[in-house]
Structure 1
Amino acid sequence: MTDAEHQAAQTQTAPTSCDTTSNATVPALEGVPAYAADPGDHEAMLDGFFTENGDWEKYRTWDDNTTIASHESLTLRALFDHDAQSRDPKWTIAAYETPVSGLLWQMTVAAATPAPVLSSLLAVLAAGGAWDAAIGNSITPRMIAQVTRPLTDAGWRHTTHGQHSLWQTPPGDAGITLDSSAVSGTGMELTAWTLWAGPTVGRPTWAIDATADTPAGLLAHLAEEIAHGIGTRRTVSRPGPAASRQHTAALPPTAPPPRSSASLR
């Protein structure tokens, strides 16, 4: 082959950026409110909790799908469901007045709960801030004001329908609901508080449910996080139509190389 023929052959077979970027996606992290952040790795957060808090012990039950974290006082426990997904309860936290008494308060945390919100919850548990609950119906106007003050400060809307109250963001994509009729001491684990985020309050992406005697300080800490906290969410951007057309356009046909006198013989 002549030099011209070699050059033409290389032009036709050489890889180009057009062949590799036609369907390219670009992952990126964006800053979002804590309630809209990614869930993160709950398994890793559980392992980190044990590593950083020596006063909590790890137990495996007869069911390999669950792990129990128990405080050395034996009055606070967290059951972790390794198989829970999406809105299913991943964590069930239960507190007792004494190691042999009945349930004092309980909270369930969905598997899709954002990492910043879960981190705040675990920080309160690690700091010992979950033992200040009062026995009996603790839903008082003072408690309600304490829990919801961060939401009011952030400009969240408040509506009341009978014994049900709702505080939610102006767009309606996150909020806290309160059912003041769900008193404690009834022998039933009734949900009084629900922290949530998602399309609507009736169809949340994630939710945290808590009974009436859940400590006000713990709930206020979570309210502060969802009202003012910041997290990250992974997004994937795709090239626009114009860019896609540019990347997928075929190379113009190469003119045939000149035929040398040697190739004619």
Structure 2
Amino acid sequence: MWHATATATTPVEIMRTLLDSLTSEDLWGSHPTLVTEKVVTEATRPLADAGWTHTINGHGITLTAPGPHSAGVRFDPLAAHPHPTWTLWKGDLNRPDWTIQLSPYTPAALLQNLTFELAHGEGVRISAGSARTVQPNVRTPIPIPVQKSANAPRRW
């Protein structure tokens, strides 16, 4: 069994990819996907093909977007349940604009679909708040009456 969580600010395109993947018959096998080197390579291939840089450190493998976009994918094989093994984010990892976290047995096909959207779709280029348009609350100022002299009649 596996699970996923997403923040409310996750872009529609990323969520659509997640939900569309869940309805795909190819995604559901009879056994959970065990995390192997092959699964990690398959899941992150779209990022490698798009020129994302990868680093290996004490937290596992982190892939980050090239250019001006700040986004990434982290695979942490040492994460103890219930902590996520996979984290996808945009922005600063310590204060991301949005995140999706996935458990160890997440199907490789789902991960690949998400990383493809992250690398080639709109998920990185759209800022978290751009999906919502907020109309400014503009109020017309009320004119303040001005008295010209003490003896002049008031005009309101």
Provide the C-alpha distance between the structure 2 equivalents of 1:122 and 1:129, rounded to a whole number of angstroms. 13
The equivalent residue for 2:84 is: 191
Distance 1:214 1:235, change over 3 A: closer
| C-alpha RMSD of the superposition | 2.3
Provide the C-alpha distance between the structure 2 equivalents of 1:234 and 1:130, rounded to a whole number of angstroms. 28
Provide the C-alpha distance between the structure 2 equivalents of 1:216 and 1:210, rounded to a whole number of angstroms. 11
2:78 maps to which of 137, 156, 181: 181
Matched, 1:139 2:35: yes
Provide the C-alpha distance between the structure 1 equivalents of 2:84 and 2:36, rounded to a whole number of angstroms. 16
Q: 1:197 aligns to what SS in structure 2?
A: strand
Matched, 1:216 2:108: yes
Matched, 1:228 2:125: no
C-alpha contact (below 8 Å) 2:52/2:65 kept by paired residues: yes
The equivalent residue for 2:47 is: 151
Q: 1:208 aligns to what SS in structure 2?
A: strand
Distance 1:219 1:235, change over 3 A: closer
Distance 1:115 1:134, change over 3 A: same
- TM alignment of 1:31-46, pairs within 5 A: none
The equivalent residue for 2:17 is: 120
Matched, 1:162 2:58: yes
Could you tell which deviates more after superposition, 159-168 or 104-113?
A: 159-168
The equivalent residue for 1:207 is: 99
The equivalent residue for 1:28 is: none
Unmatched runs of 5 consecutive residues or more in structure 1: 1-103, 237-265
The percentage of counterpart residues that share the same residue type is: 37
> Whose Rg is larger?
1
Q: Residue type matched to 1:225 in 2?
A: E
Q: 1:212 aligns to what SS in structure 2?
A: coil
The Cα of 1:128 is off from its aligned counterpart by 3.1
The Cα of 1:131 is off from its aligned counterpart by 1.8
Distance 1:207 1:219, change over 3 A: same
Q: Residue type matched to 1:157 in 2?
A: T
C-alpha contact (below 8 Å) 2:32/2:107 kept by paired residues: no
- Alignment TM-score, normalising by the size of structure 2: 0.72
Q: Residue type matched to 1:180 in 2?
A: P
For these two proteins, the number of residue pairs brought into alignment is: 127
The equivalent residue for 1:250 is: none
Unmatched runs of 5 consecutive residues or more in structure 2: 134-156
C-alpha contact (below 8 Å) 1:158/1:168 kept by paired residues: yes
Distance 1:128 1:180, change over 3 A: same
The Cα of 1:172 is off from its aligned counterpart by 5.9
Distance 1:108 1:234, change over 3 A: closer
The Cα of 1:150 is off from its aligned counterpart by 0.3
Tell me which protein shows more helix as a share of its residues.
Answer: 1
Q: Residue type matched to 2:49 in 1?
A: D
The Cα of 1:235 is off from its aligned counterpart by 9.7
Q: Residue type matched to 1:140 in 2?
A: T
C-alpha contact (below 8 Å) 1:133/1:216 kept by paired residues: no
Tell me which protein shows more strand as a share of its residues.
Answer: 1
